[in-house]
């Protein structure tokens, strides 16, 4: 847990002019969700109570219920936010007819990095769910569907002769997403490394190694 995340969980947002705002008028649904995600990540969803959320927000529990039915709905909204963007990235790449499969694959990786950086707390929470509730199990199922769709693009790139045909698409998918997801453990926006630099480096590491090597006649193998 970083100091910035901890302070986000313990203090309500500042009002214009720097004054702290407390109580229901100081929060909209989006701000409430952002603080809830921080608390869920810090304490774990199962370990978080509505009292914990109320304390972090500086609200009464009844004020939270003005916005949502409970912490389960907050978790669902948080996971939806991360999943919908990742699903869109992979689906767009899978359905694109304007790019070669290898380019669609690289585009999906780059855009996945963008989503992770843009919604870092939400993706971090997504990666920590373990299927202990129906909301979490649904999220894990959607993650598997994303993996399957990505593997289909890998297959297409192999069939097109652009990727090493000896590579297992499912293994490759897990390795690539593992590299992307590792950003949640170390990447912090505004600390000198831009999302573009991260995407460039990751693309070089991944795609320079998995592209099919085309040999000219007479080349040594």
pLDDT digits (tens, 9 = 90+) for 145-155: 999 999 999 99
Mean pLDDT value across residues 136-150: 96
Q: Where in the sequence of the chain do the CATH 1.10.357.10 domains occur?
A: 78-210
Pick the closest to residue 116 from 157, 177, 164 (CA basis).
177
- Of 124, 121, 140, the C-alpha closest to 132 is 140
Over residues 191-220, the pLDDT tens digits come to: 888 888 999 999 888 888 777 654 444 444
Calculate mean pLDDT across residues 111-124.
94
Tell me what the pLDDT averaged over the chain comes to. Answer: 84
Instruction: Average the pLDDT over each of 21-25, 79-83, 96-100, 101-105 and give the range with the smallest value.
Output: 21-25
Residues 121-144 have a mean pLDDT of 95
Residue, of 13 and 129, whose pLDDT is higher: 129
Position 205 scores a pLDDT of 86
Which pLDDT does position 12 carry in this prediction?
A: 42
Give the residue from 78, 28, 74 showing the smallest Cα distance to 53: 74
What pLDDT is attached to residue 79?
A: 97
pLDDT at 208: 82
Residues of the chain with CATH 1.10.10: 3-65
Angle at 117 between CA 53 and CA 38, to 5 degrees: 10
What are the start-end ranges of the H helices in 3-70? 3-10, 29-43, 50-57, 61-65
- Rg of the chain, C-alpha, whole Å: 21
Residue bearing the bigger pLDDT, 16 or 68:
68
CA angle (50, 52, 54) in 5-degree steps: 70
Least confident of 78-92, 113-127, 199-213: 199-213
Q: Which CATH architecture has domain 3-65?
A: Orthogonal Bundle (1.10)
| Cβ-contact 189, 117 below 8 angstroms | yes
Q: Which two tokens stand for residue 151?
A: 């593997």
Options 1.10.260.40, 3.40.50.300, 1.10.3720.10, 1.10.357.10; CATH for 78-210 is 1.10.357.10
pLDDT of 193 reads 85
């Amino acid at each position: 847990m970083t100091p910035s995340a901890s302070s986000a969980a313990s203090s309500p947002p500042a009002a214009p002019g720097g004054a702290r705002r407390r109580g229901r008028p100081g929060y909209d649904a989006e701000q409430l969700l952002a603080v809830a995600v921080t608390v869920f990540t810090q304490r774990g969803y199962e370990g978080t109570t509505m009292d914990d959320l109320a304390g972090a927000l500086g609200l009464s529990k009844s004020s939270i219920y003005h916005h949502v039915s409970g912490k389960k709905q907050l978790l669902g909204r948080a996971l939806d936010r991360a999943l919908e963007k990742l699903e869109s990235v992979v689906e767009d790449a899978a359905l694109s007819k304007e790019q070669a499969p290898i380019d669609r694959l690289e585009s999906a990786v780059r855009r996945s990095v963008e989503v992770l950086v843009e919604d870092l707390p939400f993706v971090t929470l997504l990666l920590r769910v373990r299927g202990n509730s129906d909301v979490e199990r649904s999220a894990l199922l959607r993650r598997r569907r994303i993996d399957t769709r990505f593997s289909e693009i890998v297959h297409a790139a192999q069939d097109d002769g652009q990727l090493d045909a000896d590579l297992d698409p499912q293994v490759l998918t897990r390795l690539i997403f593992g590299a992307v997801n590792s950003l949640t453990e170390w990447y912090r926006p505004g600390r000198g490394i831009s999302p573009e630099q991260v995407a460039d480096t990751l693309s070089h590491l991944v795609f320079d190694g998995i592209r099919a090597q085309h040999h000219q006649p007479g080349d040594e193998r």
